[in-house]
């Protein structure tokens, strides 16, 4: 016995005759005998404070009653892997644990009675893998834990009854308790400094008990609770400090219960909820820092997100087999990250994206039966790659009419109904690579006619119906690799940017094969390029006032050299290059090694865009097309047109109104300097007014019709 006293003497210092002891080291009790020895070594202690950790772990431990003198533990209390321990009686005097309280893997433990005096736990509390526990009775005085309260893998646990005094806890993690139906014992908790995770509790029907929590400072995760039908227990939560995840809750039909949520600091993941129909319940969210909506079997739309105006991270809607629209995103204006709509096989409507202007990174639409891209009509900028792959309903790209910037790869692939690319005419520069691949009905690249530069590769491949790539004629060059292959009807590839590329290309960076004769190999295209009748060095269109004072389009072009050239055929389109008509021809010089200048006047342009190109024809019938040039007449249909503006001498006024009109001119001070009388203008005529007598400055032309209608135009006198 004396030896046992000596063995444990170093563990304590007697503080008073009353038997209060302080034990100055970690203590591990790994058998029933070790518990007996420990008590005998401290037999003079009425109460003890352990300044360290107490671990109870032993294969034969059945009785803790000899520990009834331990009142305080400054470190961790760990009760782990005790296969025969059925009761914690003996720990009844412990009032506080300064570190962790861990009750884990005690297969015979039936209750937590014995811990009934514990009021505070300084760090986390874990109740894990205790298969006979049915509730948490025994923790009745527990008021606070400084760490996460983990309740996991307790096979018989049905409720958390026993912790009704708990008012403060850092975080809550309830996981893998197959019979748990009731978590109402958390009802006194109002805030969480950590996370809230309710994970894999298949019998849990309700989150009642969480209804007083107003904020979660870390993650909020509701995962794989297959019987959970709603989120109403979360009704007071206004903010989540990190990530919100709602996943694999098969009975959940909406997100009602999150109606107070105003802010989520990081991403929101809504995934694998088989019966979720829509997003009702997220109505107060206005800004999201990332939204991922994946693999929700019956999700129909995104209704419930109508207050969201901005997503600061990514927007990903993928693998949702029933989603038919993105209704709910009606007020979304920008996404700072990537936008992905992937493998949503019945998503036919993206009209609710009509306010979206910006994708800060890539945008991808992959495998969808969209019939229109009109929902993207406000989109101006895609900061990264822009990918349209496997869209089965669109015939063109109308709806992208305001898209001016793509900062990465433009990939158009496998769109089975696409016939041309009209709709992206505002793209001019910024694209890195272009891939036009596997679009079986695509006949032309019309829509790319204003593109002047790319910084990488050009790939045009496996487009069986493609016959015309002349829309790329404005490209100044192809800095990367060139691949034109397997376009079975494509004959003419000898357009200026490709001819320029072939001058310095190598076999390593060029593929031209399996196209129609004329574009079936590199040598065929090179021959066509070298056989071009002229070397065109400029081609432009300008506005011109004709001798009869009507507006016209003046075409001007120059050649550096000509060999066996015969004529220039002037071709014109007023429908965005969908069709072309011949306006006339201009004879070529035939042979020349000096710069030659040519012109052609088109007297009848239409209101809006007018496109022109030259068909340069050799004497043997071979030919090539120039790049396209265009000009816009915005006011030909206006009731009143004044020109030129600014004016230095004569001002011309044309009117389309049927009745005669009076003309008045006012200077910037409002003084009338001219009045024509009642019959100053006549419909369909160009009327001339002298301006050379007026001082320089701004003037206002007021035209009044017989019916009293007034039209005002501003003119600057030079």
> Which residues does 708 contact at the CB level (< 8 Å), separation at least 6?
none
CATH code for the part of the protein at 535-633: 2.60.40.10
**What is the average pLDDT across 33-59?**
96
Query: Domains of the chain: which residue ranges?
Result: 18-193, 214-285, 535-633, 640-717
The single-letter DSSP state of residue 507 is G
pLDDT digits (tens, 9 = 90+) for 202-258: 999 999 999 999 999 999 999 999 999 999 999 999 999 999 999 999 999 999 999
Question: Which fold is adopted by the domain 640-717?
Answer: Immunoglobulin-like (2.60.40)
Would the pLDDT of 516 be above 60?
A: yes
Written as six digits, the tokens of 342 are: 């992937």
State the DSSP H helix or E strand holding residue 608, giving kind and residue range, or none if neither: strand 608-618
Mean model confidence pLDDT for the chain: 90
pLDDT band at residue 285 under the 50/70/90 scheme: very high
Cis peptide before 268 (omega within 30 of 0): no
Alpha-carbon 412 to chain mean position: 19
Would the pLDDT of 638 be above 70? no
Helix axes 32-41, 2-9, angle to 10 degrees: 80
Secondary structure (3-state) at 530:
helix
DSSP three-state, residue 233 = helix
pLDDT in tens, 53-96: 999 999 999 999 999 999 999 999 999 999 999 999 999 999 99
Angle between helices 522-530 and 496-504 (to 10 degrees): 110
Least confident of 17-21, 93-97, 673-677: 17-21
Q: Give the percent of the chain with pLDDT over 70.
A: 92
Rounded alpha-carbon distances, angstroms, from residue 265 to 219, 262, 323, 466, 538 = 10, 10, 27, 49, 55
Cβ atoms of residues 185 and 166 within 8 Å: yes
Which of 578 and 105 is assigned the larger pLDDT? 105
The residue whose two tokens read 């030129």 is 644
Q: How far apart are CA 586 and CA 568, in angstroms?
A: 5
Mean pLDDT confidence for 569-585? 89
Is the pLDDT confidence value at 2 over 50? no
Structure tokens at 390: 């496997």
In tens, the pLDDT along 131-188 reads: 999 999 999 999 999 999 999 999 999 999 999 899 999 999 999 999 999 999 999 9
CA 399 to chain centre: 18
pLDDT of 14 > 80? The answer is no
Q: Say whether pLDDT at 640 is over 80.
A: no
| Region 389-413 average pLDDT | 96
- Flag whether pLDDT at 521 surpasses 60: yes
Q: 34-48, 208-222, 535-549: lowest mean pLDDT where?
A: 535-549
Same fold? 535-633, 640-717? yes
Q: Is the pLDDT of residue 603 over 90?
A: no
Most distant CA pair in the chain: distance in Å?
Answer: 132
How far apart CA 447 and CA 401 sit, in angstroms, is: 10
Say yes or no to pLDDT of 676 above 90: no
Name the token pair of 121.
């736990």
Q: In the predicted model, is pLDDT for residue 15 greater than 70?
A: no
In CATH terms, 18-193 corresponds, of 3.30.1050, 3.30.70, 3.30.420, 3.80.20, to 3.80.20
Confidence of residue 373 (pLDDT cuts 50, 70, 90): very high
Mean pLDDT of 297-311: 96
Burial group, residue 674, by CB count within 10 angstroms (0-12, 13-18, 19+)? middle
Confidence at residue 196, expressed as pLDDT on a 0 to 100 scale: 97
**pLDDT (0 to 100) of residue 481:** 96
- How confident is the model at residue 596, as a pLDDT? 86
What per-residue confidence (pLDDT) applies to 470?
Answer: 85
What percentage of the chain has pLDDT greater than the value 90? 69
Look at 35 and 11; give whichever has higher pLDDT: 35
Whether 299 contacts 320, CB under 8 Å = yes
Q: Is the pLDDT of residue 12 over 80?
A: no
């Amino acid at each position: 016995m004396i030896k046992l006293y000596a063995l444990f003497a170093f563990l304590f210092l007697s503080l008073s005759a009353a038997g209060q002891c302080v034990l100055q080291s970690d203590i591990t009790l790994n058998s029933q005998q070790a518990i007996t020895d420990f008590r005998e070594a401290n037999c003079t202690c009425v109460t003890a404070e352990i300044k360290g950790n107490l671990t109870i772990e032993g294969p034969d431990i059945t009785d803790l009653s000899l520990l009834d003198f331990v009142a305080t533990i400054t470190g961790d209390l760990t009760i782990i892997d005790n296969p025969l321990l059925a009761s914690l009686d003996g720990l009844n005097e412990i009032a506080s644990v300064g570190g962790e309280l861990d009750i884990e893997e005690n297969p015979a433990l039936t209750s937590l009675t014995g811990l009934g005096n514990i009021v505070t736990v300084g760090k986390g509390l874990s109740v894990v893998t205790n298969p006979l526990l049915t509730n948490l009775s025994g923790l009745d005085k527990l008021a606070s834990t400084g760490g996460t309260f983990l309740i996991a893998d307790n096979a018989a646990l049905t409720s958390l009854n026993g912790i009704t005094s708990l008012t403060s806890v850092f975080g809550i993690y309830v996981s893998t308790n197959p019979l748990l139906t009731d978590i109402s014992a958390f009802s006194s908790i109002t805030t969480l400094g950590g996370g809230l995770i309710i994970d894999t509790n298949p019998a849990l029907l309700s989150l009642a008990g969480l209804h007083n929590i107003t904020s979660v400072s870390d993650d909020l995760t509701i995962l794989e609770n297959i019987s959970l039908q709603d989120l109403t227990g979360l009704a007071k939560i206004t903010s989540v400090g990190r990530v919100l995840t709602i996943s694999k809750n098969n009975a959940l039909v909406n997100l009602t219960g999150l109606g107070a949520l105003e802010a989520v600091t990081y991403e929101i993941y809504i995934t694998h909820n088989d019966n979720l129909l829509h997003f009702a319940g997220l109505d107060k969210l206005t800004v999201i820092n990332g939204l991922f909506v994946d693999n929700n079997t019956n999700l129909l739309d995104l209704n419930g997100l109508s207050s969201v105006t901005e997503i600061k991270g990514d927007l990903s809607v993928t693998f949702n087999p029933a989603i038919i629209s993105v209704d709910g995103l009606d007020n979304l204006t920008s996404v700072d990250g990537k936008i992905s709509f992937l493998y949503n096989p019945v998503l036919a409507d993206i009209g609710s994206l009509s306010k979206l202007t910006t994708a800060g990174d890539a945008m991808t639409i992959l495998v969808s039966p969209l019939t229109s891209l009109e929902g993207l009509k406000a989109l101006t900028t895609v900061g990264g790659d822009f990918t349209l792959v496997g869209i089965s309903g669109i015939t063109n790209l109308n709806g992208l009419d305001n898209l001016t910037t793509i900062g990465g790869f433009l990939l158009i692939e496998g769109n089975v109904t696409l016939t041309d690319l009209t709709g992206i005419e505002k793209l001019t520069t910024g694209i890195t690579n272009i891939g036009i691949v596997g679009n079986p009905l695509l006949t032309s690249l019309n829509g790319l006619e204003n593109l002047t530069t790319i910084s990488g590769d050009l790939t045009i491949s496996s487009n069986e119906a493609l016959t015309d790539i002349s829309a790329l004629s404005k490209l100044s060059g192809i800095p990367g690799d060139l691949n034109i292959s397997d376009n079975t009807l494509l004959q003419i590839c000898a357009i200026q940017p490709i001819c320029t590329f072939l001058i310095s290309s190598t076999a390593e960076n060029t593929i031209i094969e399996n196209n129609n004769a004329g574009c079936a190999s590199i040598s065929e295209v090179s021959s066509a390029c070298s056989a071009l009748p002229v070397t065109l060095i400029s081609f432009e269109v300008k506005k011109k006032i004709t001798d009869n004072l009507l507006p016209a389009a003046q075409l001007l072009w120059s050649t550096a050299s000509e060999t066996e050239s015969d004529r220039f055929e002037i071709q014109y389109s007023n429908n965005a290059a969908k069709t072309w008509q011949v306006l006339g021809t201009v004879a070529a010089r035939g042979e020349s090694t000096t710069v030659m200048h040519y012109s052609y006047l088109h007297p009848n342009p239409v209101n809006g865009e007018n496109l022109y190109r030259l068909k340069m024809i050799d004497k043997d019938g071979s030919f090539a097309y120039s790049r396209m040039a265009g000009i816009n007449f915005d006011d030909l249909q206006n009731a009143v047109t004044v020109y030129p503006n600014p004016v230095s001498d004569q001002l011309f006024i044309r009117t389309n109104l049927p009745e005669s009109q009076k003309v008045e001119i006012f200077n910037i001070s409002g003084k009338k300097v001219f009045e024509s009388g009642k019959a100053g203008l006549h419909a369909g005529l160009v009327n001339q007014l002298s301006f050379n007598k007026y001082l320089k400055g701004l003037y206002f032309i007021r035209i009044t019709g017989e019916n009293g209608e007034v039209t005002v135009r501003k003119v600057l006198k030079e």
